Amino acid sequence: MNVKVTFLGTGAGTPGKGRFLPSILVDDGPRKILMDAGEGAQYRLNELGISPLRITHILITHLHGDHVFGLPGLLATMALLDRRTELTLIGPVGIASMVKGLAEFIDGSQFPLRIIELSDEEGEAYVDGDFSIRYALARHSITDYAYTLVWRTAVGKFNPERAMKMEIPVNYWKRLQMGEPVLLPDGRVINPQDVVDVRSSGILKIVYTGDTAPTERVINLAKDAQLLIHDSTFSASEDAEVVWRQGHSRSVDAARVARDANVGELVLTHISNRYADPNTLAWEAAEVFPQVIAARDLLTIEVQG
């Protein structure tokens, strides 16, 4: 499967010329997931020709304004457009009261809104068939959750002739193609490799940290992910202890997390406006982890699994 990741905003703190505040759109076909809703998110969606009505999930990492002040406008537009389908909103404790406080200022019909508030250090926030959202507490100045989006996909090409020869009932075929061993009613255990040309792990993972200093929890969350999107507010030239106390990372910090988590690709984001050319941060990070790029607004990456 292919998942499209588009960076709507990649800045930090305040918007800059050509660099809006944090927001990322993840599109897997049936779902359009917004990770953070910084100022300008709705404008960027409009540039892409995507109606807010098509957003199915919004994940908020934390309640600092640069990550959440685009949410009121999005919800207001959804209401004005007479949204009827359910929207799932996930975030830290406080997101529900924030939305409740906005209600009296939002005109139009109220649409179904499912709010999931997170309070544990880590866990599973959402499951829908072969798709799930997990989270872990990051390392910031306030409660901030890193998210991993996980899709279970086919591990390879299924061999129906082999399956029929082995007299495996059809209702077990999908589970085998998704990489799951099965126990048949006759007591036989069938492994995926018995009927599938296994080509991959069958797991596609995309991880987004929000704002964070380097932390083992993010490394564990990002293990073997195809894509890690990590806070890179500052250059390697900044004092590490000062940056970490602020709950942020430098380019090389993000690279070390990517290396230790064995991810496929690293994207640096939440980049301070003090850096006119974000590629300088990517060059620094590449000394530690070569598969790295610096995000720019409207950059799109396709992730395959």
Q: What is the pLDDT of residue 69?
A: 96
Residue type, 281: L
Rounded to whole angstroms, the Cα distance separating 193 from 196 reads: 5
**Structure token pair of residue 21:** 């505040």
Domains of the chain: 2-153+200-304 (3.60.15.10), 157-196 (no CATH)
Question: Is 23 in contact with 41 (CB distance < 8 Å)?
Answer: yes
Question: Is 45 in contact with 54 (CB distance < 8 Å)?
Answer: no
Give CA 273 to chain center in angstroms: 23
Q: Which residues of the chain carry a pLDDT beneath 50?
A: none
The pLDDT tens digits for 196-246 are: 887 777 899 999 999 999 999 999 999 999 999 999 999 999 999 999 999
Q: What is the pLDDT of residue 108?
A: 55
Catalytically active residues, by annotation: 66
The pLDDT tens digits for 173-190 are: 888 888 889 999 999 999
